[in-house]
Amino acid sequence: MERVVNYLNNLSKNNHKAWFDTHKKEFLEAQTVFNDFVDRLLKGMSEFDPQVKNLTVKDCTYRIYRDVRFSNDKTPYKSHMGAFLSPHGKNSGYSGYYFHIEASGANYIGGHILSTGIYRPAPKVLKSIREEIMLNGEKFLEAVSVAKGFNLDSGDALKRVPSGFPADSQFAEFFKLRNYFLVKYVDNNFLFSNNLLENTILEYKKTLLFNNLLNTCVDYSNNIE
Is 97 buried (19+), middle (13-18) or exposed (0-12) by CB count in 10 A? buried
CATH architecture of 2-222: 2-Layer Sandwich (3.30)
What average pLDDT does the structure give for the chain? Answer: 96
Mean pLDDT for the stretch of residues 69-97: 94
pTM: 0.95
Residues in contact with 60: Cβ distance below 8 Å, sequence separation at least 6, in sequence order: 38, 42, 83, 84, 85, 86, 89, 90
DSSP 84-147: EE-TT-TTSS--EEEEEEE-TT--SSSSEEEEEEESS--HHHHHHHHHHHHHHHHHHHHHHHTS
| Amino acid type, 177 | L
Which amino acid is located at 129 in the chain?
Answer: I
- Averaged over 162-180, what is the pLDDT? 96
Question: Letter for the amino acid at 172?
Answer: A
C-alpha–C-alpha distance, residues 182 and 188, integer Å: 20
- Least confident range from 4-8, 33-37, 125-129, 219-223: namely 219-223
Q: How far apart are CA 2 and CA 8, in angstroms?
A: 10
At residue 103, does pLDDT exceed 80?
yes
One-letter amino acid at 58 equals: K
Pairwise CA distance, residues 220 & 93, whole Å: 13
Chain segment 187-206, per-residue pLDDT in tens: 999 999 999 999 999 999 99
- The tens digit of pLDDT for each residue in 27-75 reads 999 999 999 999 999 999 999 999 999 999 999 999 999 988 888 888 9
Residue pair 211/150 in contact by the 8 Å Cβ criterion? no
- Alpha-carbon distance of 116 to 96, in angstroms, equals 6
